[in-house]
Amino acid sequence: MASSLTLANVDAGYGAVRVLEDVSLTVGAGETVALLGTNGNGKSTLMKSIMGIVRPSAGRITATIDDATHELVGRSTEEIVDLGIAFVPEGRRLFPKQTVTENLLLGAYRPTARSAIARNLDFCFETFPRLKERARQLAGSMSGGEQQMLALARALMSSPRILLIDEPSVGLAPLLVSRTIDKIKELKEGFNLTVLMAEQNFTQAVRIADRGYVIVHGRIAFEGESAEALNNNELIREFYLGA
């Protein structure tokens, strides 16, 4: 059962300010695609357009979930999540006054996910043993790394087919960044997910990505068909490697 995501000629912005211009992008079934770019180039806006948080002014966004295709533009955020697309937003957006377990159970609010709750919870606790230790702790009192793990685990509790992650490495120590990226790979394989990940940390993102797009000033500036192609690209050298 294949799940994929396609953006075709999407324009989006806030009021009169246009952030995305003519963005086309695909995430194929079972792929991990990296969306690369420095701050302020439109990565988050692109994620928010897919999730129905920002409404595109032009273009189409379609998702194929288990071989059924849905148009996403015009749907509410909760409808999109209910289709099977989970989003880990920038800043994690946990419920700080709820415990770890309560946060995870809220992740399973989606009716389809409720029957899989025990299995998903076991998987999350197995992948993130720290969350099991802290099951009764309030989410707001945990460290940044633990919060990022909880945000990932909570997204998986909804039994998604497609996972969107915005800047998983923000605010984490270098060692934690590489561990988080490894975990994303592990989760992707465990849940058989299709993943789109926005990231500034080029070297880390490329470690697990099959392909990537570089976004500059709201336009797709380069499309790398492999991690290698990304590594050897001039633009990326200029932006990230300072060469």
Partner 1 sequence: MDASLDLLLNAVISGLLLGGFYAAVSIGVAISFGMLDIVNIAHPGFILLGSYVAYFANTVLGMDPILAAVIALPAFYALGALVYQIYYIAFERRQDQSLGGLSFFFGLLFITEVGLVLIFGVDYRLVQARYIGPSLNLGWVELPLRLFVPFLVSMVMVVGLQLFLSRSFLGRAIEAVAQDQLALRLMAANPTRIKRVAFGLSFATAAIAGAILIIIQPVEPSIGREYIGRVFAICVLGGLGSFSGMVIAAVTLGVVESLTATFFGPSWAPAVSFGVLLVTLAVRPSGILGR
Which residues ranging from 166 to 225 are in contact with partner 1 (CB under 8 A)?
none
Answer yes or no: are the C-beta atoms of 99 and 136 closer than 8 Å: yes
How many residues bind partner 1, per CB under 8 A? 28
DSSP helix/strand/coil, 117: helix
Closest to partner 1 by CB, 191 or 240: 191
Q: What is the nearest approach in angstroms of partner 1 to the Cβ of residue 19?
A: 18
Residue 99 is given by DSSP the state B
Closest to partner 1 by CB, 78 or 228: 78
Closest to partner 1 by CB, 9 or 76: 76
Q: What is the nearest approach in angstroms of partner 1 to the Cβ of residue 103?
A: 8
Rounded-to-integer distance, Cα 197 and Cα 103, Å: 22
Structure tokens at 206: 């490329």
Which of 60, 70, 75, 114 is close enough to bind partner 1 by CB under 8 A? 114
Write each residue from 14 to 33 as x if it is in contact with partner 1 (CB under 8 A), else as -, in one continuous string: --------------------
* Gyration radius of the chain over CA positions: 17
Q: What is the nearest approach in angstroms of partner 1 to the Cβ of residue 140?
A: 9
Q: What is the nearest approach in angstroms of partner 1 to the Cβ of residue 120?
A: 13
Rounded-to-integer distance, Cα 49 and Cα 71, Å: 12
Q: What is the nearest approach in angstroms of partner 1 to the Cβ of residue 11?
A: 23
35 part of the interface to partner 1, by CB under 8 A: no
Which residues ranging from 51 to 110 are in contact with partner 1 (CB under 8 A)?
51, 53, 76-78, 81-82, 86-87, 89, 93-98, 102, 105-110
DSSP H or E segment with residue 60: strand 58-65
DSSP line for 206-235? HHH-SEEEEEETTEEEEEESSHHHHHT-HH
Q: What is the nearest approach in angstroms of partner 1 to the Cβ of residue 53?
A: 7
Which ranges of the chain would DSSP assign to H, the alpha helix? 43-50, 77-83, 100-107, 111-114, 117-127, 129-133, 144-156, 174-191, 202-208, 227-231, 234-236
Which residues ranging from 145 to 164 are in contact with partner 1 (CB under 8 A)?
154-155, 158
Q: What is the nearest approach in angstroms of partner 1 to the Cβ of residue 106?
A: 5
Give backbone dihedrals phi and psi of 129, rounded to 5 degrees, phi first. Answer: -55, -30
Q: Angle at Cα 91 formed by Cα 85 and Cα 95, nearest 5°?
A: 80
Residues at the interface with partner 1 (CB under 8 A):
51, 53, 76-78, 81-82, 86-87, 89, 93-98, 102, 105-110, 114, 138, 154-155, 158
